[in-house]
Amino acid sequence: MKGVGIAVKNTFRGGVHPAGHKDLSRESRLRLFDPKGEMVFPLSMHIGKPAKPVVKKNDEVKVGQLLAEADGFVSAPIHSSCSGKVKAIEKRRVLGGGMAECIVIDNDGMFTPAEDYTQRTDASKLSNSDIIQRVQKAGIVGLGGAGFPTAVKLQPKNADAIEYVIANGAECEPYLTCNDQLMRIHSNEIAEGLELVLRLFPNAEGVICIEDNKPEAIEAMSRAVSDKPKISVRTMITKYPQGGERSLIQAVAGVDFPTSKLPADVGCVVQNVGTLYAIQRAVLYGEPLFSQCFTITGEAVAEPGNYMVRVGTSYAELLEAAGGVKEGMEIRKALSGGPMMGIAIGSLDIPIQKQNNGLTLLAEDPVEAAEAVMTSCLRCGRCTTVCPMGLTPQLMCDAAVAGDLERYEKKLYGMDCIQCGSCSFACPAKRPLTPTFKQAKAEILEKRKREGGAQK
């Protein structure tokens, strides 16, 4: 599959160059934050079936202890990130504004571990099956935002056909800098995690992709793999959405493929560097996934920084640790993630989940600003030029607004949209293209669900 469709280069088709704003937090070293408040663990913090509780009210738990087991192949177990007592298993408000079943723990502030996570296993004594089982048991999911169970991703139909294992260190989302810091500080661990994954794919080479605005991370990762012939570091052109799975595959393998296919179908497996770090901890030390790197940033934050944050911590408590809201400012927009693909938050009293990697608090609302100057489509074609999927956003928007979802889906391939926001960013008319596509996709999926239920 190498070189099919487009030329191999260190970037991808389309894309935009939003202001990075990474200077707010990029030099803030990762530090562990131990929360004091109650901890909330949604049973569905991954793609697939929600986990099934194995604890009950009033049970005593410790750090790393299993709270809920995977309920199916595409599911992931959940472990406690604190010690204390189970307060309740009930519906709580979560990211997105809805209510979801959660395990609530009264945090005792001691963070007593369930096991010793300092004893290292000899990797040479582990089989491929052992590696996958340890990843699954640890509850590792993709930490780049999607939350797909990693053990499933590591078991494609044909492991021998995988040519590239791509480590995603691009961190192209504006404002976020936690992966940059993770690569600077834990480069050796990330490299070991990638080596463990490469053992599963005998014909693959490892490629660590980092945008060229992270020179310290590039240097650290290059040192870490200098004695590893199957792994190389690729410096990528800084452009959004370089960190998208398909964008990386375009840049590394020269392969362009539709969303109907998976990366494994074109010989690639992509893992975020945070996921590889978690794999190293799980396989070599038996440590479950109960914390991840996280950036809290934005002009409205008093002390932007990078943290190793425990799953279940509330956004509100982490904001307190970052000095709260900057004096003289107010939060006009709160986003889980960054400004391009982040999810707007109405309340910070919700838990941080496994796949969350940032909180951006803005002193100005870019959506309000865009709405104030929005005009009709200018037919300039900029949205089409920047779309990394090669779609026609202006026509997709017209179809969605007109309610012609069949044209949107079947003629314009609207379901291939990855909702990266590049078209909205580039639009001089300030049309809400990406929100319109999100709504259209949701309506199409809901229709499919209804029709599927009716057929049963």
Report which of residues 257 and 175 the model is more confident about: 175
Residue 386 neighbours by CB distance under 10 Å: 22
pLDDT score recorded for residue 278: 98
pLDDT score recorded for residue 60: 98
Q: How many Å apart are CA 326 and CA 149, to the nearest integer?
A: 37
Q: What angle do CA 442, 150, 176 make, to 5 degrees?
A: 70
What does pLDDT average to over the chain?
94
CB 315 within 8 A of CB 348: yes
pLDDT band (50, 70, 90) for residue 454:
low
pLDDT score recorded for residue 6: 39
pLDDT score recorded for residue 7: 39
pLDDT score recorded for residue 4: 36
1 has a pLDDT exceeding 70: no
pLDDT score recorded for residue 256: 83
- All structural domains of the chain with their residue ranges: 22-27+117-285, 377-455
456 has a pLDDT exceeding 60: no
pLDDT score recorded for residue 453: 62
3 has a pLDDT exceeding 50: no
Q: Is it true that the peptide bond before 215 is cis, omega within 30 degrees of 0? A: no
Q: Average pLDDT for residues 428-443, to the nearest whole number?
A: 95
pLDDT score recorded for residue 106: 98
Q: Average pLDDT for residues 312-325, to the nearest whole number?
A: 97
pLDDT band (50, 70, 90) for residue 257:
confident
Q: Average pLDDT for residues 97-123, to the nearest whole number?
A: 96
pLDDT score recorded for residue 451: 82
pLDDT score recorded for residue 2: 36
Give percent of the chain with pLDDT exceeding 90.
90
In this structure, which CATH number among 3.40.50.2300, 2.102.10.10, 3.30.70.660, 3.40.50.11540 belongs to the domain 22-27+117-285? 3.40.50.11540
pLDDT score recorded for residue 258: 73
Q: Average pLDDT for residues 309-333, to the nearest whole number?
A: 96
Residue pLDDT, tens place only, 43-90: 999 999 999 999 999 999 999 999 999 999 999 999 999 999 999 999
Q: Average pLDDT for residues 257-264, to the nearest whole number?
A: 84
176 has a pLDDT exceeding 90: yes
Q: How many Å apart are CA 299 and CA 304, to the nearest integer?
A: 9
Give percent of the chain with pLDDT exceeding 70.
97
Q: What angle do CA 392, 441, 98 make, to 5 degrees?
A: 140
Q: How many Å apart are CA 272 and CA 328, to the nearest integer?
A: 37
Q: How many Å apart are CA 63 and CA 46, to the nearest integer?
A: 20
188 has a pLDDT exceeding 90: yes
